[in-house]
Structure 1
Amino acid sequence: MKNIFLFLTLLVLSVCANAQKIQQQDSTNIETLDEVLVNAVRVNADSPITHSNVTKEQLSKRNLGQDLPVLLSYLPSVVTTSDAGAGIGYTGIRVRGVSGGSTNVTINGIPYNDAESLGAFWVNLQDFSSSIENLQVQRGVGTSTNGSGAFGASINILTDAVNNDASASISTSFGSFNTLRNNVKFSTGLLNDKVEISGRLSKIKSDGFIDRASSDLKSYFLQASYKDSNRLIKAITFGGTEVTYQAWYGVDVFTIDTDRTINIAGTQMDDAGNVTGYYDNQVDDYKQDHYQLHWNERFNNRLSLNVGLNYTYGRGFYEEYVDDYFYQNVFFSDDSKFSFLGLNPITVDGNAVESMDYARRKWLDNDYYVANASLNYKYNKLDLIAGGSFNLYEGDHFGEIIWAQYAVDINKDHRYYFAQSRKTDASGFAKATYQLNDKFSLYGDVQYRHIDYKTSGMASDRTPFEVDKSYNFINPKVGISVNLNNQNNLYASYARANREPSRNDFENGPDVKPEQLNDFELGYRYNTKNLKFNANGYFMYYNDQLVLTGAIDDVGAPIRANAGEGYRAGIELEGYLVLSDKVSLQANATLSKNRNLNKGQFLNGEALGETEIAYSPSVVNSTAINYAPVKNLQLSLINKYVGKQLMNNIGDKDSKIDAYNTLDFNVNYELKPKVIFKSILINGIINNIAGVEYNSNGFDYGGGYYVYYPQATTNFLMGVTLKF
């Protein structure tokens, strides 16, 4: 099966690459005021920046409650993973092998990445795909954006556009693992041709593929807009609550062959080491609310201004049961000891007791403020955007004991660790596209970022955690685009990005250094109505690259370390071919070489030389066959192949995630009755039709101890959306 789809991928790409005369596509695009909200962080179709655009319609075909990374998994160079194994709850995305913590995410131009961890927690964007108008994924460094630098990709999201007409919809979907999603959406349409109010409420529940890896997700989205011919004002609030049973420990190498769904989180044992049960409330419980205000003013055909303000309030905890026997004999951890908690030993029945079972909560309480502004000037051959952003993050990290085996001397509000963090991020940029003539256009972009990061108090392991760092980065980008004719485009670009370490990086190595990336891109685009083909070559050279070591910390976050110099080199191919009014083919493939140069690094006294970068498959490809036998019905067969990945950076061939190949079937059918409903959309997907047992992620703790993240075998989701 794998060979068949690899052949189809290459066939589609070959046909696309050699096509000559097919009807030209009308690419005329009238820019709306909504789209101006993301102008500062996006690029246009013939820009020398490698990118993919995804529309609301494309998302809706697979949007049945799974997280956004899963819906983007078939884009070029993308690999996704799910802790619960079914795409709901904690999910992750890697682009060109780069971790999600190095992917910049913005929502309406507002940075979404967590200011400290630098990661994007998709579990806190519950059912957010239902409120997305469109998005753009830029691979590599991309254009200057707000927030942390992009080291593998940036994902720029635009939420729902203003609707002219009133509408409402009710959507429900259900499927394997007791998955159930319900949402309602509404729009008043433009009232008095000026004002629109719209919103969404959603609830998703799933048991997950992994044992007890349940998710209980609730979310909302509310938007009020004022619009006239030259002005758009949007007030947006969105957020929700996630309660997910922890599944971040994975399944160890000694168990994976006999029990792929086991979950050791919350394990309770007796004094002989026998498992007696699992803690019911071993959950991650987090709430996050976002408030955005956007003002876009178009002064004339040449000049427009966009201002965005944001406040995000996040608070929550993860609760866990610390079993004395389990932690000391399985985790080899001192967390159950009184000395770890800063408590004195006690005497029970005349015997000294120095450890115990207890339940704790590790809290995060944070505030995040953002102010963005950009000015866009267009005149003749020049398109210039200049702007800036200021972000302020303040967060408290602390731990509480909520139950103890013994009556120890603990105050009601006792915190066994407490830390405070403050981070400011100020940046300014100017980017311009200049059209030299009908064929040549030049692109230039420069950004300056200043970061201050300070912490005080203790880390969660009760060691002192004091950081006081400042960084100044200059990130230049240049490119050229050549339109050979209406169908053919060539481009080349160079971009530099600098990126600060995350909080976890400082916790795991106080001497950690910022990383730098030099990104070279060279590409070709062929674009007509029935045929599209893109070929892009990239060379990404790193200094002090922060790479995943293969281990995770006590909250399931991947541990990274500086790896000196390294590079990622590859070619990305994309093709879309319309064979008839019923059949179309889509394919993409990435072939790459990813290496740590490891200069001066040794293992067992021997120089390492070049080694593979962890979590960087050399082959990633996807193929889709779309068939529309009758009007409003589309059937799609979708294949995804991911090559093997190593889980460490020392070239250990045993530390690997095997290659995998999956096949999904997607169906979409829309009825358009003449009464009551505007439309009835029925869609469904069968994931992993062949029932392949595969692992999408894993970690290497050293000494031959590996853990993996098994994904679900054959499973399904079905949904119905009623539109009024």
Structure 2
Amino acid sequence: MKKITQFLSVVMVMLFTTVAIAQSEVKGVVIDGDLNAPLPGANVLEKGTTNGTTTDFDGNFTLRTQASSGEIVISYVGYGSVTIAFNGDQDLGNITLNPDNTLDEIVIIGSGVIDLAEDRQTPVAVSTIKRSEIQARGVGNVEVGEIIKFTPSVFVSPGGGGFGDSALFVRGFDDTNTAVLLNGQPINSQEDGRIFWSNWQGVADIANAVQVQRGLGSSKLAISSVGGTVNIVMKAADKNRGGSVRFLAGNDSYFKTTAEYNTGVNDKGWAFSFLLDHWQAHRSWARGTFGQGQNYFFSVGYKPNERHNFNFLITGAPQFHGQRWSQSEETIARDPKFNQHWGYTNDGIDSERRNFYHKPVMNLNWDWTINERSNLSSVLYASWGRGGGTGPRGNRIRTDDGQLDFAAIEASNAAIGVGGFDSDETGYIRRASMNNHSWYGLVSNFNHNFNENLTFNVGTDIRIYRGDHFRQVADFHGLTGWAEDGVTVTASYEADPWKALFDFADESERIDYDYSETINYQGVFSQLEYSNDKISVFFQGAVSNQSFQREGRHISYSGDDLGKSEKLNKVGYNLKGGASYTIDENNKVFFNAGYYSRQPYLDNVFSNIRRSNDLVNPEVDNEDITGFEAGYEFKICENFTGIFNFYHTKWENRVQAAGGGVNDNGTPNDPSDDFNSTTFQRGVNQTHVGAEFDFIYRPTNWLRVNGFISAGSWKFNGESSFDEFDDDTGELVNSATGINREGISVPGIAQSTMGLSARANIVKSLSIDGNVKYYGNNYRHDGGALQTMNVGKVDAFTLADFGLTYDFELGENTISLRGNVFNAFNEITISNSDRFGFFNTDGRTYNVSLRYSF
């Protein structure tokens, strides 16, 4: 018994000694290598465990390790991670993290389907904006475009100035020809390729990064990336516990409040993240551009083991806002805030042009590490868009200054009773053009590393889409009913994004038009890449089948039920390849080439999408895009890096559809001609050639400077033809060939831009930043349905933005104060044009925010 007692005593002493030895206390201070300042919130993790901590406001950390020796990994979003060995209790002193271009810490889930430039060794022309900069620049009364506008060959049009109405152009191509991906999920409209940024007002709050890939990009999907690809990397369930509350105010009564919380990962591998916010303003800058909206985000992550990682999220940004179209040059000169679509009602300011939409998005990501060499990444997604835009139907009454006189309209309508196109006295209503859709999809990618040099990818892209389009009455403005085509409707539906989810007109209550379309898409893609220390070579291909079918219901012009159209199938494909050569650690050259055979959009398939089941005859062919680009990356010293890019993109056999007629010679009809038609231009060819240079310079440890220069020559070439269809009957009424556009410059976009930005750490916790961008060589639109001549240029202009950030402690937590001034020098000028008129820059705007992080 005595021996047993002695043995147990020895065992107990050994166990306690082991425990004592197994734990160590490791300390250090994490420094931002960019600004030589403490880096609060950096992650410190004992390698191979879930044991970790974060740095405090002064960059300090203390970690009680589980082992007596080992390694700790220190990381921060947007910075290169550092791994440091420890042995016993140790003070590691200052540990510097330097900014880098990798997004390893940003992509928590879905790394296999989120096509970022870092995932391929062969470079592309790319600019990445990370969460810290997004939060500083894009969280208030500015739009998503403001986040990425300071990028070579990127032009962001104000689009009238309403909240979310901006338009994005990359290398001269609009957003219908620039692919936008949300966590690997394509979000360009299936019908016409457009991006409605108002549907994504919440992106600035939930994005970990936005990456703009100019030109061919790194995406493996068979998508419409003629100009480039915008990858929005949305946050998943956060790995770290904490949250924040933010209050923001801006010009014209703008107010926004946001709250978020992350539970962190628990012992069973679960993590939850939440975000809610609300914003409102009585206008953006121009009159009648009021707005209000919310943003919600919920995400749950689950990591049962090291091989599987799941994340489910749902997000949406319901909103409504008043809109404003392009104006005449004379109107802008007289009053740049003028907007002809608004007026006063008993409830205050209202507009006949109101956009309202709610688009919940849901997706489920699964990352599966099959073995050391293979992994599979998939995202299953769904979205349900509900809402549309309002506009006039009937006769307007205006005040002497050109605004809508709603009081006079209601008095006139009250005397009429029932108005409509079936009545001699039509009256006035506000109709809503509804664009409801349901969209389901799957993107999946299998990756296999044959060895350390050779990588193979293969995947699939499947989409199922149905869109319903009709008009309903939003406001009778004193009428008791509205009569069209022998049917009188008496029900109205509020233009509200929350109500639009479930409350919209039945078929018997719809006016003007009512139709649906079904678009099914099946694609496969693959990539093979070889790389070593000196060279990298890749080849990529994708093929897809897309089917279109239209179902027409009530049409006020005929009263007929058109039924279902013939189903049209189109096959498209793309091929891309490239190579890079590393001359030495400071110099690299690369070359990429690609060819796309792209299916036409649904809106270009039917002779009149609203009123006809007839396919355009002869059938619309695929569009052909050929691209070449070359680049040279170099580093002069540790403080200066730069990159040159050259691109040549040829777009052939393009189809363009536009409202408004043309004469036999291809020139526009007289504006007084009251004839509604749709014009299809065929065989439009464009060639976009340009060069870009951008750089990063860190002359001191407290100052960083970025800059770029981009210059393009974007022209039409060759001849094209057109067919014109009567909107009322769908009949072909006009056609012509041999429309000569050789040498005509593409209008409406600045073809030359230059920019310079700087960020400086003035004192501890205080930094200032600013950027200046020049826009030039912008050709005016000739005002016709066809661009057949150049009629001069928009005057060059320069815009400047400035910001300030101050962080201070509150106990163990932090408070951040941020202020922004946009268009600081109040440069109000014409920015660009479309065929209907001109857009002007918004004048000076501002916001200030206070964020409490815990």
Question: How far apart, in 2, do the equivalents of 1:266 and 1:307 lie?
Answer: 46
Contact map agreement 1:549 1:647 (CA 8 A) in 2: no
* Aligned twin of 1:645: 779
What amino acid does structure 1 have at the position aligned with 2:385?
A: G
Q: Secondary structure at the match of 1:209?
A: coil
Question: How far apart, in 1, do the equivalents of 2:136 and 2:740 lie?
Answer: 51
Give the greater-gyration-radius structure (CA). 2
Shift of 1:174: 1.0
CA deviation map 1:44-82 (0-9, x unaligned): 274232222221122122133222111111011111123
Equivalent of residue 117 in structure 1, options 182, 192, 195: 192
* Aligned twin of 1:48: 123
* Correspondence 1:661 to 2:795: no
Contact map agreement 2:110 2:378 (CA 8 A) in 1: no
Shift of 1:611: 0.7
Shift of 1:371: 1.1
The aligned runs of 1:99-138 (5 Å cut-off) are 99-138=174-213
CA gap 1:656/1:397 in 2 versus in 1, 3 angstroms: farther
What amino acid does structure 1 have at the position aligned with 2:510?
A: R
CA deviation map 1:577-610 (0-9, x unaligned): 0010122211011111111113367999995431
Question: How far apart, in 1, do the equivalents of 2:553 and 2:109 lie?
Answer: 44
Shift of 1:441: 1.1
Shift of 1:440: 1.1
The aligned runs of 1:315-334 (5 Å cut-off) are 315-324=386-395
CA gap 1:634/1:499 in 2 versus in 1, 3 angstroms: farther
Question: How far apart, in 1, do the equivalents of 2:243 and 2:567 lie?
Answer: 51
* Aligned twin of 2:502: none
* Aligned twin of 1:20: none
Question: How far apart, in 1, do the equivalents of 2:589 and 2:329 lie?
Answer: 47
* Aligned twin of 1:334: none
Moved more, 25-34 or 205-214: 25-34
Contact map agreement 2:279 2:293 (CA 8 A) in 1: yes
CA deviation map 1:112-152 (0-9, x unaligned): 11211211222111221111112321111323444732111
The aligned runs of 1:212-611 (5 Å cut-off) are 212-227=288-303, 228-247=305-324, 249-265=325-341, 280=351, 282-324=353-395, 345-346=422-423, 353=424, 355-378=426-449, 379-402=451-474, 403=476, 405=479, 407=481, 408=483, 409-412=487-490, 413-416=508-511, 417-435=513-531, 437-457=532-552, 468-506=567-605, 510=616, 512-527=620-635, 529-546=638-655, 561-562=681-682, 564-599=684-719, 607-611=740-744
Q: Secondary structure at the match of 1:76?
A: coil
CA gap 1:83/1:215 in 2 versus in 1, 3 angstroms: farther
Contact map agreement 1:111 1:147 (CA 8 A) in 2: no
What amino acid does structure 2 have at the position aligned with 1:631?
A: K
What amino acid does structure 2 have at the position aligned with 1:201?
A: L
* Correspondence 1:712 to 2:842: yes
Question: How far apart, in 2, do the equivalents of 1:109 and 1:484 lie?
Answer: 33
Contact map agreement 2:744 2:790 (CA 8 A) in 1: no
Q: Which has the higher contact order (CA 8 A, sep 6+)?
A: 1
Aligned length: 662
What amino acid does structure 2 have at the position aligned with 1:43?
A: A
Shift of 1:434: 0.5
CA deviation map 1:345-378 (0-9, x unaligned): 44xxxxxx16332232211221000012110112
Shift of 1:639: 0.5
Shift of 1:419: 0.4
* Correspondence 1:695 to 2:830: yes
Shift of 1:444: 0.6
Equivalent of residue 818 in structure 2, options 683, 703, 708: 683
Contact map agreement 2:176 2:224 (CA 8 A) in 1: no
* Aligned twin of 2:269: 194
Question: How far apart, in 2, do the equivalents of 1:52 and 1:76 lie?
Answer: 8
CA gap 1:63/1:607 in 2 versus in 1, 3 angstroms: closer
Question: How far apart, in 2, do the equivalents of 1:343 and 1:40 lie?
Answer: 51
Question: How far apart, in 2, do the equivalents of 1:354 and 1:296 lie?
Answer: 63
* Correspondence 1:624 to 2:757: yes
Q: Secondary structure at the match of 1:75?
A: coil
Contact map agreement 2:420 2:426 (CA 8 A) in 1: no
Question: How far apart, in 1, do the equivalents of 2:829 and 2:189 lie?
Answer: 30
Question: How far apart, in 2, do the equivalents of 1:27 and 1:358 lie?
Answer: 56
Moved more, 594-603 or 114-123: 594-603
Contact map agreement 1:440 1:481 (CA 8 A) in 2: yes
Structure 2 spans left out of the alignment, 5+ residues: 1-95, 403-417, 491-507, 609-615, 662-677, 723-735
Question: How far apart, in 1, do the equivalents of 2:794 and 2:555 lie?
Answer: 30
Contact map agreement 1:113 1:148 (CA 8 A) in 2: no
CA gap 1:612/1:283 in 2 versus in 1, 3 angstroms: same
Contact map agreement 1:695 1:710 (CA 8 A) in 2: yes
Contact map agreement 1:315 1:364 (CA 8 A) in 2: yes
CA gap 1:547/1:319 in 2 versus in 1, 3 angstroms: closer
Q: Secondary structure at the match of 2:701?
A: coil
What amino acid does structure 1 have at the position aligned with 2:709?
A: A
Contact map agreement 2:288 2:341 (CA 8 A) in 1: no
Contact map agreement 1:34 1:232 (CA 8 A) in 2: no
Q: Secondary structure at the match of 2:108?
A: helix
What amino acid does structure 2 have at the position aligned with 1:536?
A: N
CA gap 1:25/1:641 in 2 versus in 1, 3 angstroms: same
Shift of 1:458: 6.6
The aligned runs of 1:55-66 (5 Å cut-off) are 55-65=130-140, 66=142
Question: How far apart, in 2, do the equivalents of 1:391 and 1:193 lie?
Answer: 34
* Aligned twin of 1:555: none
* Aligned twin of 1:98: 173
CA gap 1:29/1:152 in 2 versus in 1, 3 angstroms: closer
Contact map agreement 1:84 1:214 (CA 8 A) in 2: no
CA gap 1:641/1:466 in 2 versus in 1, 3 angstroms: farther
What amino acid does structure 2 have at the position aligned with 1:444?
A: F
CA deviation map 1:312-366 (0-9, x unaligned): 1111132233242579xx9xxxxxxxxxx997744xxxxxx16332232211221
Contact map agreement 2:179 2:225 (CA 8 A) in 1: yes
Q: Secondary structure at the match of 1:47?
A: coil
Question: How far apart, in 2, do the equivalents of 1:536 and 1:208 lie?
Answer: 36
TM-score, normalised to structure 2, is 0.72
Shift of 1:545: 3.0
CA gap 1:267/1:686 in 2 versus in 1, 3 angstroms: closer
